[in-house]
């Protein structure tokens, strides 16, 4: 759910979240757009945009409103997902969460900074300290005409654009989002570019800005980190006794590959959710009388061609 203006930020979502909830769906979160995007220089920066004397970008809410809203939703037990592409907007969000922690105490709420395109260096450690998840969209950072449109914030800032490694190295929780339909919905494209920061198809040879992470770190980002951010790491996110049997079987061993050009087209052969066979790409279990919930001919065409 996305709200831009609410008189009482928590009342509507606090009441309706239970209506939409099911065994496998949790509606206990709201998303807000705190600022804009880099392409239009509407991302809210901590200092003026290059070439501007005062323009820092735009905030969709005042800092006071942001703080009051986060504190209120945190008190009601609702997770806040904040669209923050500028280092100024993420700074305000972290300040608001810090105030919520001060007023409401450590109540287990795991709020999330969405996109996290630019982060202030001094804020990297705060993700761990405040139990805030940093979400990044790696399909937006490999070298392409689209990604280079995001480099208007100045050479110094973009050295650490999408600072996945900075958050992880300081003990923070980082997750990956596709940002579909803005970008490619195939998660394996993002998986490869987390590790390489290069164009998966070799269409551009430039090494993009920022630091790579290891395949081991990328696997945690795709599994246990995501479960932690949703507060279900006690029952999902890793293969352990006592946890839900949620797992996938791939068509290749990712550790045996040269990452660039060989990971983005990974295929999932088998998917189990709570032990139930929901995907069997090669129909390996058909002879055993097990039929998957989803079949090849039911996969949307736009995904199949990616």
Q: Kindly report, residue by residue over 232-247, the tens digit of the pLDDT.
A: 999 999 999 999 999 9
pLDDT in tens, 115-146: 999 999 999 999 999 999 999 988 777 777 66
Cα distance between residue 306 and residue 286, in whole Å: 26
**Both structure tokens of 96:** 């608001």
* Domain 11-236 of CATH type 3.40.50.970: no
**How do residues 27-84 score in pLDDT, each as one tens digit?**
889 999 999 998 899 999 999 999 999 999 999 999 999 999 999 999 999 999 999 9
Burial 74-87 (b: 16+ CB within 10 A, else e): bbbebbbbbbbbbb
pLDDT score of 151: 72
Whole-structure pTM value: 0.89
Confidence grade of residue 299 (pLDDT, cut at 50, 70, 90) = low
pLDDT digits (tens, 9 = 90+) for 180-229: 888 888 999 999 999 998 889 988 777 677 889 999 999 999 999 999 99
Q: Band the pLDDT of 305: cuts 50, 70, 90.
A: very low
**Cα–Cα distance for residue pair 161/210, rounded to 1 Å:** 6
Q: Is the pLDDT of residue 95 over 60?
A: yes
Q: Give the pLDDT band (50/70/90) at residue 3.
A: very low
* CA–CA distance, 195 with 255 (Å, rounded to integer): 12
User: Residue 174 pLDDT more than 50?
Assistant: yes
- Which backbone phi and psi does 249 adopt, to 5 degrees? -115, 125
Contact 150, 110 (CB under 8 A): no
> Strand pairing of 133-136 and 174-176?
parallel
Q: What are the two backbone dihedrals, phi and then psi, of residue 183, each rounded to the nearest 5 degrees?
A: -130, 180
- Least confident range from 18-22, 35-39, 109-113, 256-260: namely 18-22
Strand order in the sheet with 268-273: 247-250, 268-273, 276-280
| In contact, 89 and 112? CB cutoff 8 Å | no
Q: How many CB atoms are closer than 10 A to CB 234? A: 11
């Amino acid at each position: 759910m996305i709200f831009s203006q609410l008189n009482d930020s928590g009342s509507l979502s606090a009441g309706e979240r239970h209506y939409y909830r099911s065994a496998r769906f949790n509606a206990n979160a709201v998303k807000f757009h705190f600022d804009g995007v880099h392409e239009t220089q509407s991302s809210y920066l901590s200092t003026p945009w290059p070439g501007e004397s005062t323009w820092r970008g735009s905030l969709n809410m005042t800092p006071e409103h942001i703080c009051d809203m986060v504190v209120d939703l945190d008190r009601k037990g609702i997770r806040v997902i904040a669209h923050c592409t500028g280092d100024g907007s993420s700074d305000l969000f972290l300040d608001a969460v810090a105030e919520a922690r001060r007023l409401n105490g450590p109540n287990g709420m795991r709020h999330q900074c969405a996109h996290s395109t630019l982060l202030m260096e001094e804020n990297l450690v705060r993700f761990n300290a405040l139990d805030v998840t940093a979400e990044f969209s790696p399909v937006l950072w490999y070298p392409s005409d689209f990604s280079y449109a995001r480099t208007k914030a100045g050479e110094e800032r973009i050295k650490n654009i999408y600072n996945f490694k900075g958050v992880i190295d300081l003990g923070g929780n980082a997750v990956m989002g596709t940002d579909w339909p803005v970008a490619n919905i195939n998660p394996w494209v993002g998986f490869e570019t987390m590790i390489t920061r290069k164009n998966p198809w070799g269409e551009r040879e430039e090494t993009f800005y920022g630091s790579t992470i290891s395949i081991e770190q990328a696997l945690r980002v795709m599994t246990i980190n995501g479960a932690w951010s949703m507060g279900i790491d006690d029952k999902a996110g890793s293969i352990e006794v006592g946890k839900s049997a949620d797992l996938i079987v791939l068509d290749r061993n990712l550790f045996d590959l040269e990452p660039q050009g060989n990971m983005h087209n990974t295929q999932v052969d088998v998917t189990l959710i709570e032990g139930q066979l929901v995907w069997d790409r090669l129909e390996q279990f058909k002879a055993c009388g097990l039929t998957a919930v989803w079949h090849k001919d039911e996969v949307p065409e736009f995904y199949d061609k990616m």
